Amino acid sequence: MAGNRTVGILALQGDVREHEHVLHGLGVSTVRVRRPEEIATIDALVIPGGESTVIDKLSVAFDLREPIRDAIREGLPVLGTCAGLIMLADRVVDAAAGQQSFGGLDAVVRRNAFGRQVDSFEAELQAPAIYGDPVWAAFIRGPVIESVGPRATVLAQLEDGRIVGVEQGALIGLSFHPEISGEPRFHERLLRTL
């Protein structure tokens, strides 16, 4: 699948270790990305959950915003979960003042659409492209994908039809945390793009 490829995990803030655990379980080497020069050493990138406003500010402080934007434009495969989805979206509704995303994913995403931390929940998803057992997902103050443009396709939905997963070429954005619920198939899907 990925051979001896290396997946970077943006390690500015968020659930980095959980993604490392899933990827190591799939036999993949990882590197924690904190400096611009590390972008050139990876074959794919994971943008973890956390707080999108903090990830945005730290990406500027660590001179990573533009290198990541450039890498996405040049075709770097990326998996963004929760806050990572927000960072991949071309448009963010309810963004904090001055907040920017890396962009690349033809989708409109609403921050904190599922409410506060106490409103966190788990649910079974409709994800026809993900074969095997049903997808069980953990949502923690997650965003929702309000609309998907013509370049992207819906990957996962809640039973009520709300879109919680989208992909566009080698970009995958998820409202939920597969790394927390022990769901490796989205990471595997990222690896198949390598």
Burial of residue 192, with CB atoms counted within 10 A of its CB: 0-12 exposed, 13-18 middle, 19 or more buried = exposed
Rg (alpha carbons) of the chain, rounded to whole number = 15
Separation between Cα atoms, residue 51 and residue 14, nearest integer Å: 7
Residue of 167, 177, 183, 187 marked active site: 177
Counted residue by residue, the chain has a size of 194
Measure the CA–CA gap between 44 and 76, rounded to whole angstroms.
Answer: 6
Q: Are 180 and 171 in contact (CB under 8 A)?
A: no
Q: How far apart are CA 157 and CA 143, in angstroms?
A: 13
The Cα–Cα gap between 2 and 192 comes to: 7
Which residue among the candidates 18, 82, 183, 187 is catalytic per the annotation?
Answer: 82
Separation between Cα atoms, residue 120 and residue 135, nearest integer Å: 17
Q: Look up 82 and say whether it is catalytic.
A: yes
Residue 19 annotated among the catalytic residues of the structure? no
Angle at the Cα of 157 from the Cα atoms of 82 and 149, rounded to 5 degrees: 80
Among candidate residues 18, 20, 167, 179, the one labeled active-site is: 179
Residues annotated as catalytic are 82, 177, 179
